[in-house]
Amino acid sequence: MSHIHDECGVFGIFANSKQDVASTAYYALFALQHRGQESAGIVVNDDGVFRTHKDVGLVNDVFSQEAMSRLGVGNMAVGHVRYSTTGTGLRENAQPIVVNHLKGNLALAHNGNLVNAYELRSELENSGSIFHTTSDSEVISYIITKERVRRRSIEEAVLAAMDRLQGAYSIVVMSPSKLIAARDPNGFRPLCFGIRDDGAYVVASESCALDAIGATYVREVEPGEMLTISADGVTSDISHCGIAKKTLCVFEFLYIARPDSVIGGKSVHEARRQAGKFLAEQYKIDADIVVGVPDSGIDAAFGYAEASGIPYGIGFIKNKYIGRTFIAPGQAAREDRVRIKLNVLTSAIKGKRVVLVDDSIVRGTTCQRIVKLLRDAGAKEVHMLSSAPPFLNPCYYGTDIDSRDNLIACHHSVDEIAKIIGADSLGYLDVNKVEWLTGEGTGFCKACFDGNYPTDLPTVTDKSRFERWERPISANPKFQNKEKKQ
Amino acid sequence: MSHIHDECGVFGIFANSKQDVASTAYYALFALQHRGQESAGIVVNDDGVFRTHKDVGLVNDVFSQEAMSRLGVGNMAVGHVRYSTTGTGLRENAQPIVVNHLKGNLALAHNGNLVNAYELRSELENSGSIFHTTSDSEVISYIITKERVRRRSIEEAVLAAMDRLQGAYSIVVMSPSKLIAARDPNGFRPLCFGIRDDGAYVVASESCALDAIGATYVREVEPGEMLTISADGVTSDISHCGIAKKTLCVFEFLYIARPDSVIGGKSVHEARRQAGKFLAEQYKIDADIVVGVPDSGIDAAFGYAEASGIPYGIGFIKNKYIGRTFIAPGQAAREDRVRIKLNVLTSAIKGKRVVLVDDSIVRGTTCQRIVKLLRDAGAKEVHMLSSAPPFLNPCYYGTDIDSRDNLIACHHSVDEIAKIIGADSLGYLDVNKVEWLTGEGTGFCKACFDGNYPTDLPTVTDKSRFERWERPISANPKFQNKEKKQ
Amino acid sequence: MSHIHDECGVFGIFANSKQDVASTAYYALFALQHRGQESAGIVVNDDGVFRTHKDVGLVNDVFSQEAMSRLGVGNMAVGHVRYSTTGTGLRENAQPIVVNHLKGNLALAHNGNLVNAYELRSELENSGSIFHTTSDSEVISYIITKERVRRRSIEEAVLAAMDRLQGAYSIVVMSPSKLIAARDPNGFRPLCFGIRDDGAYVVASESCALDAIGATYVREVEPGEMLTISADGVTSDISHCGIAKKTLCVFEFLYIARPDSVIGGKSVHEARRQAGKFLAEQYKIDADIVVGVPDSGIDAAFGYAEASGIPYGIGFIKNKYIGRTFIAPGQAAREDRVRIKLNVLTSAIKGKRVVLVDDSIVRGTTCQRIVKLLRDAGAKEVHMLSSAPPFLNPCYYGTDIDSRDNLIACHHSVDEIAKIIGADSLGYLDVNKVEWLTGEGTGFCKACFDGNYPTDLPTVTDKSRFERWERPISANPKFQNKEKKQ
Amino acid sequence: MSHIHDECGVFGIFANSKQDVASTAYYALFALQHRGQESAGIVVNDDGVFRTHKDVGLVNDVFSQEAMSRLGVGNMAVGHVRYSTTGTGLRENAQPIVVNHLKGNLALAHNGNLVNAYELRSELENSGSIFHTTSDSEVISYIITKERVRRRSIEEAVLAAMDRLQGAYSIVVMSPSKLIAARDPNGFRPLCFGIRDDGAYVVASESCALDAIGATYVREVEPGEMLTISADGVTSDISHCGIAKKTLCVFEFLYIARPDSVIGGKSVHEARRQAGKFLAEQYKIDADIVVGVPDSGIDAAFGYAEASGIPYGIGFIKNKYIGRTFIAPGQAAREDRVRIKLNVLTSAIKGKRVVLVDDSIVRGTTCQRIVKLLRDAGAKEVHMLSSAPPFLNPCYYGTDIDSRDNLIACHHSVDEIAKIIGADSLGYLDVNKVEWLTGEGTGFCKACFDGNYPTDLPTVTDKSRFERWERPISANPKFQNKEKKQ
């Protein structure tokens, strides 16, 4: 029932006429699917009437033709895709959250993780509030609603709520007549703003969603900024800007975001390519071919090849039907999931000395299997490179970085890890290079690598908070074996 | 999204060991299915851990084997079946409602309708509370939770909440260690208490649920009473008893409850049979056979036959597969639903003068078709009798009595109605006889017949309250054509 | 994968214009649902193009709005509901069977059981035919098709096939331009013919299906008769009539058919009532009330009361939601299915000497539980009467009468059975009265009671034939616990 | 209801002990999913008892945990994935086909298309055979079964059937004790043979399926060869080898097969890379970057870059969730499917002269959109290259090459097509190079390019044969918009 961290995608559109905003949101969420595969939801605003559809599942499964037609037309919509780190996918936790209220309905979609969620929730519960979910988003909804009843406008309420929220939040709030986008002062999670030819305004977690719906990327919503979109146009409130150091999650560039997205004007693909180039500077390897692990190791491998002069090659073919929750039949535990997903191009690998580039190493088990695949295909040498530095610390800002227990780099030296995964050598990106990935020497949160957390830490973790509510009888087989980093 | 009135069934069990309370709740809800076909839910309490399964649909559809096994074992459970009067069946509105709270979880199942729901909800919304549903049950949950944070125990919180709730409520509340059953001081909706051989205590809307699980009926929960069941046994609080006149809904006896149920020690079947006997006193008809409309007209027809001496006969065969949501194929509007459901036993009717007894007449359209069926089968005369008086007023206490617009008796005289439905004569039970159905001359709410409402009326109806939130795009075909009285 | 006997319902319509024949078939099948709950199917003939929908499940589940709209309009349709005696419900065995053939498509719906199915199938397999199902209906389709290729018309092919088929068959065959109904010379299974006001011709297993669609019963298709309906009208071929004694299954009157059906001009309800009257002649009992077991014991109980003068009473209330496949939750084996389905009206039974009438006694287990229900409700005496004689022999003509192993009457005397079921006395209808149920002293097959089989018996039973193909891994829980006589 | 051509995947396993062959088949089919997305099926052979599960849908959807457990263990299994070119996905057409027969059960999975299917089927229908499907596979099953009844063994029957079948067939046949794999003498469709460490023998359409289950590729089943695998080992019958020229479909190398597969010892990836190199020889272009259209244009683009010296670049990011049937919401026709699926890496393309490589051009509409994507991203020039020659002729051997009406190359010159798709230049692979893709100058069918059909052509196409059976009411929305080449 609980979840520790959300890694989510949000979207909002404000059109200047009643139209099929649900389909637009659908395509945007489909483009953001990589940010969350557990649940999806859309709320359409039809002259103040909110129609919602949300459920557990992929965008394509959740939104049937019938569901789309029931959402109908409107001039605004918000959407959300959600990922949770636990096995249980609760329908109740699906977003956006909708609040029916005398002062006006409100729909909220949120990406991030508060560090003071426990305190805020306790305070609310102690004043008699009842919660239906275990998500931070419901806490934020409450805080905004509490403020709403004593403020003149929804904007004022959101600003007042921002005074109380600590941690990571990129939120989209829809009221009967306004669409509001706001980002925490650190700017942990991305949130960008765009415009479509027909004048519709859109906000989304990543620019790839804008591309998918034919909108043009304008700029990021700034850390601490609140954008209000209404019939009167777009206004910006920057009263919370600058009150904290900008610390965008660097793992967005290294892993989370789609390579075709642009964050803060920087291409994610180029940042990963740059990581590969940095690796080539750090690790000069005598090899015949550079291959990347699909999909997220490809860009860095490309960069490594460019900088090193060693030819880039296609080393793996990925089963293109695996990109969704994959239910492995019961008895087949001995079947190797990595082998199901990836196959080696033997003709390209046989007899070669291979530089193998992946985006990161968490537990090491997947790396181990991939190295073995290359060995089985006849690779003479396998040199493993990770385009992220070693993970040494948990994340409290909405990324699913495992607790230290599961982080192989917390328990083993680089040489030990190389041995464990079966590589001839192993290299990680230098943590000091990380901030130069996009050409700028500042502005990232890289606490998972160096432990420098830019905020206070939670006093109580979500896990312990919600433990008392949980005693799973049996994990729901529908949500087992979901594709996740290992 | 809204619903005006709930007509629901509730159940709770407190066992003295960890066991399969989910199955017990399942069978009890199955026995209460006639009280609500829209959604069903069960919450199991496993040493303070609450596991919930609820969804739109019949009990048999909602609870798959997998769902049952996920509910697991426990020592307490609450269950609910729900009916709503609108076409939209919202998953969110399914009960029991579960509140996760620092002071302890809480599950609540409710049957009834508050008359001050608007005021309570407005007050809560104005203090910043957020609502996920449009149901009175969430209002009650809030009121209890608000009280809970400043009281020493859940019992005190429920009692304090009872001071604030006005109207009809029969509720079952489950805390981590207690099961509480409470009923409004008027006692509009039934709620009975029983015990099983193994010492488990149970509460249920009707005694038929006790029979289904092998429990023995002990007594009603009294109007205004709160029963608390815990490891220490059962305690009764009667501080709210007697502060209002007892006004049990008489329509429970006439239509809603199952004939095999016993309410307040009185058999529903016998009450209906008595209604038939009263009709025989009122209307002396020269006829050959008395037939009842299955299922709920049978008992009164039987009573009429007994008292009149005219032979009782089986006149209709009901398709036994129709007892569930029935989806009529699209183009077949001209097909007659009554004919699908009922067929006349021509051999029994042909050439006869028939006394036809039904439980009530609401819009008259169903009666019209049934009379025609008899005529087509060769009945010489058809004399229609209703074992309920004419409906003249809407109900605010949880029964789905249509607004005056749809009540045929509000717009036509008895003779006119007879003509409309095609009967040779028509008679209604005398409204003054109603209170004598169970042999006692008092204690019923019969406001739908005589307009004497025992409480203040709502200042704002739910319909208007929730109107702003609704603009249905298209009625969900899954919930169209549900079997309902017409 | 196998099934021993089919107990099915068939339907066919020939309209004189293109119309929504699918909906008509739907309503007819819904009325015939009691004849088969395992699968349902409809084939629409749209100017020679056949569109089919069939699946495992009840009529209401199989035919969604979408399925109906895909069936579309046409001028003919055939439909089928199917029951099988084994736990496995095979989608492949759903009917009607459709044959795509150069000489014209053909759809076939069949009720009955051949006694020479093994010989015919072996012969066909030995000539290289391949079978997709284990049903007799596919054998019949093959025989007709084999004849079709060397005959001038489909009628000739059906007649030639009738020369080869032995046993029970009531079939409806649809060719591109004709609808053919045929019945074996013994006339084991019913098949009636009707006409609708608009001139559409219909055939159905029972007249209740005609009533449901507003058609008028004309007459039975005679044993051995073949009716051909085409644009030229209706023609009858009686070349197979009279070549065998008419031996309609008397159990159709006693149990299978709906009481509102008329077979051979005789009311099923009246036949059952007559059975009750015969019982009253046989068994004079000193009792206070006569009650019937719902639904199929009601009519005979009524007849007993009429003839004996002992008052008829309503003794049981049946849960009206049980009339479909009922999935009992896993752990609840100790819960009593009979108690879930039936509840006693204690007020009517308490302290009474009860005559309890049921339609038949097969294994005795259900009776035992029902008697106990009455005892628990305070009945002073319980006298059990069965409106069918004791079952002593298996049926080979399409009725699911258990093998002798499971027939309690094969192993115990009447007194022993009374003791086993806990009754104070027990009586069966005299087997010699059976043929007088409808007022005529002849024309029934009652082999299950007296062992006088009107045909040769199968050399090989279906069970042994198909055994080699079956080794169920686990019974499909979806099909367990289906409501069946015990 | 019909389908013209099958493009399918087949699989068979013969293990030497009873084991979870169903899971093995599952993983193999998952690896072959690209060969057919319409339906999937597995038949397990458990000591002669066949258990089947097949349905419309992707492998992952068809085989639930429950379905897998019902398949159970066995020592043999056959599997099939199916693609059809029409909108209607008929459950009946799902394979493998299972024949229950006195001489022993038989399961058959087939990839290919017969050219004499019409003649064979007519002959069978004229002898009274009945067909349940419109597939060639049922024709083959019949022919084998007809032979089976007069031959001593299943092998003899298959060989005799091969005498009668003309056209393309790669089949896997399972009898109670043997697994047989056979390929037509031309060898149109691939079929390979492998062995697993534990001694299990496997056959599959492509070697990628062997990799997925940890089996080692041994060799192709030769054109005309029949392999029989039994407890006695593997025997090869080559009596049909050499009676026709080997003409493997070259489009398997160019498009159908997975790049990690090896066909006839040749790597598919290398063949596509070679196509790119040939293109580089043919078309010397002054450009800055070579990009391939994911997924199937990547390999050739890589080859072009290698041979030309122009840098290879990642130009597109493909949404990795699109690799399955994608249901576009209703109103969103104006949304561009290509844009949903592919996004341009603007940073890589902007201001560049781009060589764009795709695997083929059928209708030209997809190309047009992709060129536009590049232009919108700022490409200065776009030079389109197709790694297949122009399609000029339909395929009769099981590939879904559109009729000439839809083939853009049949109606326009290369220059016209360049203009239509908006490219600065356009080039196709020289048809004469095609046979050198794998380094050998012979042995391919390339009739779709050059019209040299290696067999007689069908006298009647399937389309016209089955037309009389079809009049779709409405295309099933579930199967609309399936991902297909355009």
Give the model confidence (pLDDT) of B35-44 as tens digits: 988 899 999 9
The DSSP H or E segment spanning B339 is: helix B337-341
Put simply, the answer to whether A212 touches D27 (Cβ < 8 Å) is: no
Put simply, the answer to whether D126 touches C132 (Cβ < 8 Å) is: no
Closest CA of chain D from C16, distance in Å: 20
- Interface A–D counts its CB contacts (< 8 A) at 172
Mean per-residue pLDDT of chain D:
88
Q: Which sequence positions of A are flagged as catalytic?
A: 8
Any CB–CB contact under 8 A between A214 and chain B?
no
Rounded CA gap, D117 and D97, in Å? 16
The CATH number for A267-325+335-441, chosen from 3.30.70.100, 3.30.1330.30, 3.40.50.2000, 3.40.50.2020, is 3.40.50.2020
For residue A48, what is the DSSP state?
Answer: T
Q: Sort out which chain D residues have CB atoms less than 8 A from A331's CB and list them.
A: 20, 23, 68
pLDDT category of residue B4 using cuts at 50, 70 and 90 = very low
CATH class (in words) of the domain with range D271-319+338-441: alpha beta
Any CB–CB contact under 8 A between A467 and chain B?
no
B337: which 2 tokens? 């639903």
What is the length of chain D? 486
Q: Sort out which chain A residues have CB atoms less than 8 A from B105's CB and list them.
A: 469
Mean per-residue pLDDT of chain B:
88
Put simply, the answer to whether D130 touches C142 (Cβ < 8 Å) is: yes
Q: Sort out which chain C residues have CB atoms less than 8 A from B258's CB and list them.
A: 317, 343
A302: which 2 tokens? 């490309």
Put simply, the answer to whether B149 touches A127 (Cβ < 8 Å) is: yes
Query: Which residue among B31, B298, B339 places its CB closest to the CB of C319?
Result: B31
Put simply, the answer to whether D100 touches C127 (Cβ < 8 Å) is: no
C445 in catalytic set: no
Put simply, the answer to whether D70 touches C474 (Cβ < 8 Å) is: yes
CATH class (in words) of the domain with range B271-319+338-437: alpha beta
- Going by C-beta distance under 8 Å and a sequence separation of 6 or more, which residues neighbour residue C211? B339, B343, B344, C31, C217, C260
Query: Which residue among A63, A212, A477 places its CB closest to the CB of D65?
Result: A477
Mean per-residue pLDDT of chain C:
88
Give the model confidence (pLDDT) of B299-322 as tens digits: 999 999 999 999 999 999 998 887
pLDDT at position D473 is 44
CA closest to C61 among chain B residues:
B327
Q: Sort out which chain C residues have CB atoms less than 8 A from B69's CB and list them.
A: 330
Put simply, the answer to whether A132 touches B134 (Cβ < 8 Å) is: no
∠ at Cα C392 (C388, C398), nearest 5°? 80
Average pLDDT over residues D199-224: 96
pLDDT at position D402 is 67
C400: which 2 tokens? 């699911």
| Residue to test with chain C: of B20, B53, B66, B211, most C Cβ within 10 A | B211
pLDDT along chain A (486 residues), means of 10: 56 96 95 92 94 90 87 96 63 86 91 92 90 87 94 96 96 97 97 96 97 94 97 96 95 93 94 97 97 93 97 92 54 60 93 96 90 96 97 88 82 96 97 91 89 89 51 37 38
pLDDT at position D101 is 86
Sign of CA dihedral A51, A55, A60, A66: negative
Question: What topology is assigned to C267-451 in CATH?
Answer: Rossmann fold (3.40.50)
Rounded CA gap, A132 and B92, in Å? 10
pLDDT at B94 over 70: yes
Check if the beta carbon of residue A258 is closer than 8 Å to that of residue A268.
yes
User: What backbone phi and psi angles, to 5 degrees, belong to D194?
Assistant: -145, 180
**D18 torsion bin: left (phi>0), alpha (psi -120 to 50), beta (else):** beta
pLDDT at D314 over 60: yes
Q: Which of B360, B366, B364 is nearest to B296 (CA)?
A: B360
pLDDT at position A439 is 87
What is the rounded (10 degree) CA torsion for C176, C178, C181, C182?
A: -90
CA closest to D320 among chain A residues:
A323
User: What backbone phi and psi angles, to 5 degrees, belong to D427?
Assistant: -140, 145
Catalytic pick among C8, C249, C395, C445: C8
Give contacts of B 39-78 with A, CB under 8 A: 46-51, 69-72
Distance of CA C104 to the CA centre of its chain: 30
- Interface B–C counts its CB contacts (< 8 A) at 170
Put simply, the answer to whether D149 touches C142 (Cβ < 8 Å) is: no
User: What backbone phi and psi angles, to 5 degrees, belong to D56?
Assistant: -70, 135
Average pLDDT over residues D167-188: 97
Distance of CA A419 to the CA centre of its chain: 31
Assembly ipTM: 0.87
Rounded CA gap, A288 and A312, in Å? 9
What is the length of chain C? 486
pLDDT at B81 over 50: yes
pLDDT at D480 over 80: no
Average pLDDT over residues C187-210: 97
Q: Sort out which chain C residues have CB atoms less than 8 A from D145's CB and list them.
A: 128-130
Tally of CB atoms within 10 A around C477: 15
Question: What topology is assigned to A9-247 in CATH?
Answer: Glutamine Phosphoribosylpyrophosphate, subunit 1, domain 1 (3.60.20)
**Domain positions in chain A:** 9-247, 267-325+335-441
Tally of CB atoms within 10 A around D300: 32
Which residues sit opposite A43 in a β-bridge?
A52, A78
pLDDT at D292 over 90: yes
CA closest to B294 among chain C residues:
C320
| Residue to test with chain A: of B1, B46, B103, B130, most A Cβ within 10 A | B130
- Flag the least confident range among A417-421, C396-400, D250-254, D449-453: C396-400
